[in-house]
Amino acid sequence: MMESEVPLCNSCGEQVGVGANGDVFVACHHCNFSICKACVDYEINEGRKACLRCAAPYDDNSVVDDVELKVSDSRTTMAAQLNNSQDVGIHARHVSNVSTVDSELNDESGNPIWKNRVESWKDKKNKKKKPPTKAEIKAKKEDQIPPEQQMEGKQPAEAAQALSCVIPIPSSKLTPYRCVIIMRLVILSLFFHYRITHPVDSAFGLWLTSVICEIWFAVSWVLDQFPKWSPVERITFTDELSARYEREGEPSELAAVDFFVSTVDPLKEPPLITGNTVLSILAVDYPVDKVSCYVSDDGAAMLTFESLVETADFARKWVPFCKKFAIEPRAPEFYFAQKIDYLKDKVQPSFVKERRAMKRDYEEFKVRVNALVAKAQKTPEEGWTMEDGTAWPGNNSRDHPGMIQVFLGSTGALDLEGNELPRLVYVSREKRPGYQHHKKAGAENALVRVSAVLTNAPYILNLDCDHYVNNSKAVREAMCFLMDPQVGPNLCYVQFPQRFDGIDRSDRYANRNTVFFDVNMKGLDGIQGPVYVGTGCVFNRQALYGYGPPSLPSLPKASSSSCSWCGCFSCCCPSKKPSKDPSELHRDAKRDELDAAIFNLREIDNYDEYERSMLISQKSFEKTFGLSSVFIESTLMENGGVSESVNPAALINEAIHVISCGYEEKTAWGKEIGWIYGSVTEDILTGFKMHCRGWRSVYCMPIRPAFKGSAPINLSDRLHQVLRWALGSVEIFLSRHCPLWYGFAGGRLKWLQRLAYTNTIVYPFTSLPLVAYCVIPAICLLTGKFIIPTLSNLASMLFLGLFISIIVTSVLELRWSGVSIEEWWRNEQFWVIGGVSAHLFAVFQGFLKMLAGVDTNFTVTAKAADDAEFGELYIIKWTTVLIPPTTLIIVNMVGVVAGFSDALNKGYEAWGPLFGKVFFAFWVILHLYPFLKGLMGRQNRTPTIVVLWSVLLASVFSLIWVKINPFVSKVDSSTVAQSCISIDC
């Protein structure tokens, strides 16, 4: 990440300044620990005369140096800003009353939002700075620290301990792993040298195709392997979090969290599952006044609304029950389905009675919800009507107004024990014909704006409707990172792994994605952080708004010069003479598109009045966030919060305004802020943009999984899921956000992180060489040719070394990650299955969609489901995606039979080359074996297996008869000629 000219103080966060000699102030010359003069004086006055990092005594000469201190006003809350407009700070994200009505530019400040701010700059410029006193320094330091962190000095020493800890992988496991990676890279180089310098003239086309495929596989391996160079693990200390922010007898100072739950079609996403997700959120182990749950109904279905009414009513019973007995998980469907002794560790005598009563209540709740679902199967001709007789506004899902309903969290919404409940809000954004709504990404952005107006929590946790909270302390786990003063300020999000219920033990189709979540994501956590995977993620709201992290270098002034090859300012090139050309200033301010959507004004004091006016006018808030003064005001609050004096009805009206279908027009929504548009995998794109801005993310893996998905996936649905992911990657590859060329100017994305993102968008293209490589063994067996010449001793050693290095790399990877061999093998199998089917279709569909504008859909036809356990996993759904792998299996089986038949005819000398060919054919068949089992359906369907194998074997022997005809002995042509001559005609 690009560093600024003057580093920031590690104590107060301000620039350390420069000394009397004009150089950057350095207090400790042993370790160069960044700390400003004011903090050094404070430490010395308190009796601490040693460096905070290395404990070396401070140099007397450096201590007496003068340093220019910057003034930073205290952070305020929205309520303070609304009630005290004359008290204006100078922080970029904290301004007083904002008006979107009178948003014309003026000559003095560039925008009325900044009028008072510019006045404060003028006053500051005209004032002569005086050396601060000890009391002033201490007051400034307290003002610079957020309120939730100021209490550290008032707590016992144990409460100020770190909230999380990084646990590097032991060197005994990691060093051999790295050595084998390097060794494998060397062997690959020697292998390709041999392959290229030893062509097979008799099968030149096959040889050339195989070499091209192998080179691509090697590149894919590099992209996948090297981002796992420095994996780490993390542990959290939730007890320390409570000790620091939840002191007995005082209100909790934990940060508020807004939960987002998104759903579209209640007939495909059962309301009962969505209800369980909502109930698990409402019962989470976190202060109720800090939790709000927003449910996005993007289909405007009355069924979803009515099911939420039932859910809110049942929550009044369920939430106090969960918290009274500390049950896990807190989704009733999955809690009551557990096959465990629920009496274990429950000492309350009333538990058994209350549990049975709660189970009866839940069964009644299920009956009511299922009755709503049954009623919704047939839509009335006149449309749905509400209880008061008025028509449901969302009868037309593509043309309806915005709808918001607050169920819980308001006056009177208490549980059965009289305690307050978390807020539950139903949201359905406005939709009109002719507007682009951007599917899930657009729905999430609508929730961002609604939540900012109503609750404005500083953190956002988004979940899919089928992912429930499995660990009630999951939010606390995330807060151990986000609220840590050392780690939290630069974090854009905390990602949790995805775990799933309803999958059989063998995990035939690699639904758990264990290798990705337990290997790849740990590796990325050691670089710049894991990628965003779409659910189970806690966001810093400021990162979603496009702001840069606190450590983001200041935007270069017009007087700075940019490096011609790296685009950095003042990092590798000397500064030039200041320039006042407005066009040049505009170019410099706009050249780096990776800068935050809102200009980072932390270093604004370095600019003169003219430059500030130009920069501010270029970064108009209305053009970025839209025309809502209340929402813009909320974006400037790092610590969140809304004014208690604001009329709730007025806030609801404003919330309706920010979810109107035309609100995002001519703004930066979906381009630079919020969920990013342009791909069906908006999650990858959104996380990528944040990392490009300089943020980092963290991977949190608590012992008890934080969230779990509840829907099992059969073969066809799994392939279509993978098809959608791959299609999104192809869309990103063909867009301006492709990691191959986007984001180089800022230098904030680490190169290993770039390799990882590159791998996420190019992996579908591996399907092309993979299909070719799976066909080559069958062609070799049918034609009698081979892609490898006769091996010498050296070549044999290279091939053997390559296979051994592949095996050892995998074994060592499993050793440090804890993934089992079975899970690794399932992942390898599905890599081939998905590669030759879903990824292949995604490549063609992506090019047709992005280049030709043709949107191709592959339909799925389902048969009846099995009622047995895991029955849905074995449903046969015929779709075009199944054709390529089926063809490859048949072709390779035909090739194996043909190869053995040919070897039997030719004699023992043909068996040697046969083994090499058969080895590759069996490699293909073994990897596609789970697909073959999925094609068969349930294992007890013997007739299906018999019929399929009968047709397959009949086809094989028919082809062998035509190709080889082994029952007729071959006669040499010379012998026939001699016999003809000897005949007496």
Task: Find, among 523, 519, 520, 503, the residue nearest to 511 by Cα.
Answer: 503
Sheet holding 467-469, edge to edge: 467-469, 707-709, 499-500
- H, E, C per residue of 564-627: CCCCCECCCCCCCCCCCCHHHHHHHHHCCCCCCCCCCHHHHHHCCHHHHHHHHHHCCHHHHHCC
CA 774 to chain centre: 32
Helix-then-strand count for the chain, H and E:
35, 15
Is 130 marked as a binding-site residue? no
Q: Give the bridge partners for 291, in sequence order.
A: 257
First-residue to last-residue Cα distance in the chain: 95
d(CA 472, CA 331): 10
Radius of gyration, CA atoms only, the chain:
33
Is 201 marked as a binding-site residue? no
Q: Which residues contact 740 (CB under 8 A, 6 or more apart)?
A: 733, 758
Is 605 marked as a binding-site residue? no
List Cα–Cα distances, 705 to 216, 511, 709, 820, in angstroms: 36, 16, 11, 18
d(CA 847, CA 868): 41
Other Cβ atoms less than 10 A from the Cβ of 954: the count is 10
Asked if 569 contacts 750 with a C-beta cutoff of 8 angstroms, the reply is no
d(CA 903, CA 914): 7
Is 328 marked as a binding-site residue? no
d(CA 570, CA 506): 56
Which of the following is catalytic: 258, 297, 683, 902? 683
CA 827 to chain centre: 20
d(CA 232, CA 527): 9
Is 464 marked as a binding-site residue? yes
Other Cβ atoms less than 10 A from the Cβ of 295: the count is 28
Asked if 191 contacts 183 with a C-beta cutoff of 8 angstroms, the reply is no
Taking each helix axis as running N to C, give the angle between helix 767-783 and helix 838-851, from 0 to 180 degrees, rounded to the nearest 10: 130
**What is the identity of the amino acid at 212?**
I
3-state secondary structure of 378: coil
Is 268 marked as a binding-site residue? yes
Which of the following is catalytic: 298, 466, 525, 902? 298
Is 440 marked as a binding-site residue? yes
Other Cβ atoms less than 10 A from the Cβ of 939: the count is 9
d(CA 925, CA 932): 9
Two tokens at 589? 């301010």
Asked if 69 contacts 43 with a C-beta cutoff of 8 angstroms, the reply is no
Q: Give the CA diameter of the chain.
A: 130
Whether 683 is a known active-site residue: answer yes
Render the burial of 870-896: b for 16+ CB within 10 Å, e for the rest: bebbbbbbebebbebbeebbebbbbbb
Q: Give the bridge partners for 235, in sequence order.
A: 165
DSSP single-letter state for residue 68: P
Binding-site positions for Mn(2+): 440, 464
Enumerate the active-site residues.
298, 683
Binding-site positions for UDP-alpha-D-glucose: 262, 268-269, 298, 439
